[in-house]
Chains A and B, each alone.
Chain A
Amino acid sequence: MEVLREKVEEEEEAEREEAAERAERAEKTMRPVEVRTEEAPLTPEMLRDLEKKLSEIETPASEEPPVITKDTIDISSLPLSYKTNTPKEEHLLQVADDFSRQYSHLCPDRVPLFLYPLNECEVPKFVSTTIRPTLLPYPDLYNWDGCAQFVSDFLTMVPLPNPLRPLVKRRERALSKKYTVKPPRDLSSKFEQEQEIKKQREIRAQEQKRLREEEERLLEAEKAKPDPLHGLRVHSWVLVLSGKREVPETFFIDPLTARSYSTQDDRFLGIESIWNHKNYWINMQDCWNCCKDLVFDLGDPVRWEFMLLGTDKPKLSLTEEDDNGMNDEDDVENLGKEDEDKSFDVPHSWVEQIEISPEAFETRCPNGKKVIQYKRAKLEKWAPYLNSNGLVCRLTTYEDLEWTETLEVKEWYQNREDRLELKHINKTTGLNIDYFKPGHPQALRVHSYKSMQPEMDRVMEFYETTRVDGLMKREETATTMTEHYQGRPDFLSYRHITFGPRVKKLALKSAESNPRPIVKITERFLRNSAKPADEDVAERVFLIGEERIQLRYHCRDDHITASKREYLRRTEVDSKGNKIIMTPDMCISFEVEPMEHTKKLLYQYQDMMHLKNEEKVSRHLAWESELEVLEILKLREEEEEAHTLTVSIYDTRRNEKSKEYRETMERVMHEEQLQQVEAQLDYLAPFLAQLPPGEKLTHWQAVCLKDECLSDFKQRLIDKANLIQARFEKETQELQKKQQWYQENQVTLTPEDEDLYLSYCSQAVFRIRILEQRLNRHKELAPLKYLALEKKLYKDPRLVELLKVFA
């Protein structure tokens, strides 16, 4: 079955999305889509309700009223095709109506057909025309499973009133039941097998059986009473026919759950009719054995009564048909047999092409949030970036059916900067396990803990390849710390530290400054093949309190005993008060093959000194490990606090930097454009405005226009020159006045005033010079500008023809 699921026609996906977005349009498949209407009460309202059901989730037995995020459709903004029927559609509706009447006449016992429901604008539309095959640009939607998942995510279920007895919720409950019931016979057979295997097991099995029976009984009790609406419920779903896109077997898809079902499934009781965007078929086969015996050969007119003698009627064939749209052979055949009048094409769909924006696609569910409720479990989904802490999915399992006792919570995160991927909280044991993706600043992979306080039970696993020290795992209990390493050049693979009770210091500062005393450090090393086994330490134990160091060496390949050595590194003083450096009893050793040089005190002394240093190093490392734990815990707390999210550099929408950059670019572009527009100011516009609009220019008018424009420009140039001249003169006069004033009052002036005067003078001179320059420049440029404008006017598209003739 898995294989089958893989591919379905593209159109199907397309339809699905459409179906998702527009509630009324049921389902369409390029391949046949079927809707089964199993039930009788057939008012149009009912039908609409049924359709609506697709877009709304029924929340089974939930206490609070379901939040219905129903889009109120603004009818006025819809295109005309939604509000009216074309003559062809009218004709089609008529055909459908005839068909329906004939059908109810011939099959009075059967449910009336679902042929032309009202759309959102209360206009009847033939169902096939509600389908418009569309290919969307998302690879996820190319195959049926991704597509179905999207549709099911997009739909929200809302409970319907009971059509028989209003306001009964039973039927929804029945719907949700589908997922939970286990077939009990499986269990009993298992039990029987077990019973036969062993006598001892039998007792256990019996116990189990009893328990299971109990469970079963409970299950039975939980199970709803026999459904009074059994077999009366109408539902619509998607049928995917085998053949195209390597679909080997026909199957159903339930749009609400996005699951596929075999046509043999017991829960599909029968099919009334099916349709796609081209035709409508009525099932004429007996559904006494659910859908198991149905033959899905739509070309067989005995089994499937078609409504339209369409061009796309699937071949009646034994082989797998591959009817890509048209099938000419069939057409000819059909045309020969039947009246030509009857053949009628379904008009093009009146529905607008579906469009799903990337945002909507990413958001998936309405408002980006969706809750699916299972028996004893609840699954919540959110769109990425919707929650500020990156939460995208949460699965809560409960002990009981009422959802009061939480068993465990699993939370999935996405795009977290701290690379947190999954948080697993076991409520009964209080154990939290955090899983991280590669890339945490401390290379954390898994962190399981009951409390964030240090020196408690805790296991941290790391991505050892990203750590310099090759640490793989660090386990802690209240008094020990165990570290596992891998791939170290010193072959260390294991370090176990036992702490003693903390000594209370008078000058207490904090846990950091008063580390727990280390009682024992055990280190194990892997075999270093470069050394002989007798010199390669396998395990060394520093008994710090007892001042002892125990060494165990690796075992030789062909031996079963390994060398051992123990140093008592007590410093003692002999009878004369001299310090004893080394005596034979300070080293007890067992050597597999006694060596000469190791008996030497010198060797032993050097070895012991070396080990003393090593002990110091190990103690320091142990202390560093403790610090690191504190650091990680602190970091984790900070991360939880901040829960920053990362944005991919390819995500142009969310990436602030790229957004800024883009906006700047846009602004610059815009400004450039403005400048360009300015540069292309229309000189003629004010003059053209004076002329009566809409009339063609005459030659005379054109000449006038040109002259006027030029003279105007000339005037403006002169004005500008005059203006500069005026300013120049004014500036000069003022300067002269000032100079005069200065000469008159020179004697009485304070130094400050003099400074002011001087600075004014220099500025004024500067201004005058600039004005002079501008004037000169203007004088130089003015004739050129004039000529340029003249040239331009001669080339102006509005004048060019007229001026040329007589030019």
Chain B
Amino acid sequence: MNHLHDSMEPRVMDDDMLKLAVGEQGPQEEAGQLAKQEGILFKDVLSLQLDFQNILRIDNLWQFENLRKLQLDNNIIERIEGLENLTHLVWLDLSFNNIEAIEGLDTLVNLEDLSLFSNRISKIDALDALVKLQVLSLGNNQISNMMNIIYLRQFKYLRTLSLSGNPISEAEDYKMFICAYLPDLVYLDFRRISDDTKELAEAKHQYGIDELKHRESLMQARLEDEQARREELQKHKAAFVEHLNGSFLFDSMYTEDVEGKKLSYLPGVSELLEAYKDKFVIICLNIFEYGLKQHEKRKTELDTFNECVHEAIQENQEQGKHRIAKFEEKYLLSLNTIREESEVPTIEKKIMECGEDITELFNALMTLEMQLVEQLEETINLFERNIIDLVGLFIENVQSLMAQCRDLENHHHEKLLEISINTLEKNVKGELDEDLPDDVRLVSALFVDKDTIINAVGASHDIHLLKIDNREDELVTRINSWCTHLVDKIHRDETTRNRERVKEISQYVDHMQSELDNLEYGDILD
């Protein structure tokens, strides 16, 4: 369809072309003069039209970061590319090009209107990011599979669709199928879909739709489930006690413990293990519950602190605003009198007064800020102490609970050792072979001598202790780092805030002062 351009050289989207287009399409008349005078920055351009330019490759558009509307129709573009920066784009026209696949649109989350009319596209795809899509034009392409329609179901705001001129539009069921599977659609191929058609289509495809809906809802439910689980885990992680609400830790102790698994086949060990596990899990649960509680406590503490800080800042700001408002009122009056005054000495006196007012305002605002800084510092320090105390308490308690775990492990270890030695003795005496099941025979390699068995049991014990230690260390490290980060952040934020405020005040005061100076200057000129 672009035969016209075939004869011409493909053009490159260079600066000159863009500048020309921007200049031509920019403001006109008086504003245009100004624009010419100043030049237009690409990033201020909201709309750009680049049609019939014989463009082969989209390029050099990265500066147009605020572009809302882009027309690239009637070119010879083969790939959608170079649009990543144009995240504010609402309207994109790529019709009458040579595009073969939909791609490169993943960042255009604000896109509402997309035209790919008359291209060589065979599959509707890669549009997932376009959640706001309302109008999609895909006519005169090579889409042949009806299942492409199903893909469009995810666009909740899609109201207008054109697909005529595709192989699928030849299908007998074309219209009915689309109406049935895209029930929110209002316009299809530039025609309004009547309610009758919708009803008819729905009736016709009811079975298929129901099945599809069922599948979709299942998928949705699964996603939601997963989401909920993730959130739950996230919450536990925030409390630093993830995976402690069950036998996870206990199980992990045995996953790498080859010896322990073997030993568990010894007579009496499985019962022992069962009891041990129960007790262990109970302690884990205790830690978990305690962790969540403490987390809540820390959160409340933090919230209270934030609220307090926020209030203090708000109040201080109100005072500042009030000050400024009062000053401006007075200043405006003074300015008016200065303007009307003709006596030079009086003017000078007035200006002096104004200058003093400005200084006074500056001092007042700075004093306010200093006050606030002091207040906040005190509060922050208090909070710091409190939160560190809380964390310390938490760590201490968790450690004591962990110690209980270790005790359990030690106890278990002793029992196991005893059983192992007993078994070894029996084995040595040869009493064992008869009544031991086959499994234990596998273990029999251990029962060579006392050292071996003690080593095996000891290794198992060490692994267990290591696991417990690791978990404890992890918890302590993480909470400590959290605490440090939090406190750091609070301090940093406060410093930033203070700097910002001081900057703001001096900027304002400078402005007022320079205004006054200008006035002085102007007056002298007059």
Per-residue B-contact encoding for A572-614, CB less than 8 Å = 1, 0 else: 0000000001100000101010001100111001100100000
Q: Which of B369-421 contact A (CB under 8 A)?
A: none
A561–B324 CB distance below 8 A = yes
Per-residue B-contact encoding for A138-156, CB less than 8 Å = 1, 0 else: 0000000000000000000
A-side contacts of B504, CB under 8 Å: 559-561, 592
Contact of A590 among B30, B317, B511 (CB under 8 A): B511
Contact of B34 among A560, A561, A590, A602 (CB under 8 A): A602
B-side contacts of A590, CB under 8 Å: 508, 511
Of chain B, the residue at the smallest CB distance from A556 is B504
Q: Is B320 an interface residue (CB 8 A)?
A: yes
Q: Is B5 an interface residue (CB 8 A)?
A: no
Q: Is A558 an interface residue (CB 8 A)?
A: yes
B-side contacts of A555, CB under 8 Å: 321
C-alpha gap A670/B33 in the complex (Å): 89
Per-residue A-contact encoding for B480-510, CB less than 8 Å = 1, 0 else: 0000000000000000010011001101100
Per-residue A-contact encoding for B6-42, CB less than 8 Å = 1, 0 else: 0000000000000000000001001101110110110
C-alpha gap A605/B27 in the complex (Å): 11
A560–B31 CB distance below 8 A = no
Q: Is B313 an interface residue (CB 8 A)?
A: yes
Q: Is B431 an interface residue (CB 8 A)?
A: no
Q: Is B365 an interface residue (CB 8 A)?
A: yes
B34–A582 CB distance below 8 A = yes
Known interface pairs A588-B515, A597-B44, A602-B27. Does A559 touch B317 (Cβ–Cβ under 8 Å)? yes
Known interface pairs A581-B30, A590-B508. Does A560 touch B324 (Cβ–Cβ under 8 Å)? yes
- Inter-chain contact count A-B, CB under 8 Å? 50
Q: Which of B506-526 contact A (CB under 8 A)?
A: 507-508, 511, 515
Of chain B, the residue at the smallest CB distance from A588 is B515
B320–A560 CB distance below 8 A = yes
A601–B38 CB distance below 8 A = yes
C-alpha gap A596/B313 in the complex (Å): 29
Q: Which of B37-66 contact A (CB under 8 A)?
A: 37-38, 40-41, 44
B-side contacts of A602, CB under 8 Å: 27, 31, 34-35, 38, 40
C-alpha gap A581/B505 in the complex (Å): 34
Q: Which of B274-326 contact A (CB under 8 A)?
A: 313, 317, 320-321, 324
CB distance from A620 to the nearest CB of B (A): 24
A-side contacts of B365, CB under 8 Å: 560
B497–A605 CB distance below 8 A = no
A558–B34 CB distance below 8 A = no
Contact of B30 among A558, A561, A588, A605 (CB under 8 A): A605
C-alpha gap A597/B507 in the complex (Å): 19
B31–A606 CB distance below 8 A = yes
CB distance from A174 to the nearest CB of B (A): 61
CB distance from B474 to the nearest CB of A (A): 37
Of chain A, the residue at the smallest CB distance from B369 is A560
Q: Which of A529-568 contact B (CB under 8 A)?
A: 555, 558-561
Contact of B508 among A561, A582, A597, A600 (CB under 8 A): A561
B515–A581 CB distance below 8 A = no
CB distance from A568 to the nearest CB of B (A): 13
B-side contacts of A588, CB under 8 Å: 515
CB distance from A567 to the nearest CB of B (A): 14
B-side contacts of A601, CB under 8 Å: 34, 37-38
B500–A558 CB distance below 8 A = yes
C-alpha gap A361/B459 in the complex (Å): 105
C-alpha gap A485/B321 in the complex (Å): 24
Q: Which of B135-168 contact A (CB under 8 A)?
A: none
B-side contacts of A558, CB under 8 Å: 313, 317, 497, 500
Most buried by B among A558, A561, A588: A561
C-alpha gap A580/B455 in the complex (Å): 97
Of chain A, the residue at the smallest CB distance from B508 is A561
A600–B38 CB distance below 8 A = yes
Of chain A, the residue at the smallest CB distance from B30 is A581
C-alpha gap A560/B508 in the complex (Å): 10
A-side contacts of B27, CB under 8 Å: 602, 606
C-alpha gap A445/B38 in the complex (Å): 54
B-side contacts of A605, CB under 8 Å: 30-31, 34
B-side contacts of A606, CB under 8 Å: 27, 31
C-alpha gap A555/B27 in the complex (Å): 31
CB distance from B110 to the nearest CB of A (A): 15
CB distance from B376 to the nearest CB of A (A): 13
Of chain B, the residue at the smallest CB distance from A590 is B511
Most buried by B among A588, A600, A609: A600
Per-residue A-contact encoding for B249-274, CB less than 8 Å = 1, 0 else: 00000000000000000000000000
CB distance from B371 to the nearest CB of A (A): 13
CB distance from B48 to the nearest CB of A (A): 17
B-side contacts of A560, CB under 8 Å: 317, 320-321, 324, 365, 501, 504-505
Of chain A, the residue at the smallest CB distance from B40 is A602
A-side contacts of B41, CB under 8 Å: 596-597
B-side contacts of A582, CB under 8 Å: 30, 34
A-side contacts of B37, CB under 8 Å: 601
User: Can you spell out 28 A-B residue pairs with CB atoms less than 8 angstroms apart?
Assistant: A555-B321, A558-B313, A558-B317, A558-B497, A558-B500, A560-B317, A560-B320, A560-B321, A560-B324, A560-B501, A561-B324, A561-B504, A581-B33, A581-B34, A582-B34, A588-B515, A590-B508, A590-B511, A592-B507, A596-B41, A597-B41, A597-B44, A600-B38, A601-B34, A602-B35, A602-B38, A605-B30, A606-B27
| Contacts A555-B321, A590-B511 known; 20 new A-B pairs at CB < 8 A | A560-B317, A560-B320, A560-B365, A560-B501, A560-B505, A561-B324, A561-B504, A590-B508, A592-B504, A596-B41, A597-B41, A600-B38, A600-B44, A601-B34, A602-B34, A602-B40, A605-B30, A606-B27, A606-B31, A609-B31
Contact surface of A with B, Cβ cutoff 8 Å:
555, 558-561, 581-582, 588, 590, 592, 596-597, 600-602, 605-606, 609
Nearest first, the 3 A-B pairs at minimum CB distance are A560-B320, A561-B508, A602-B34
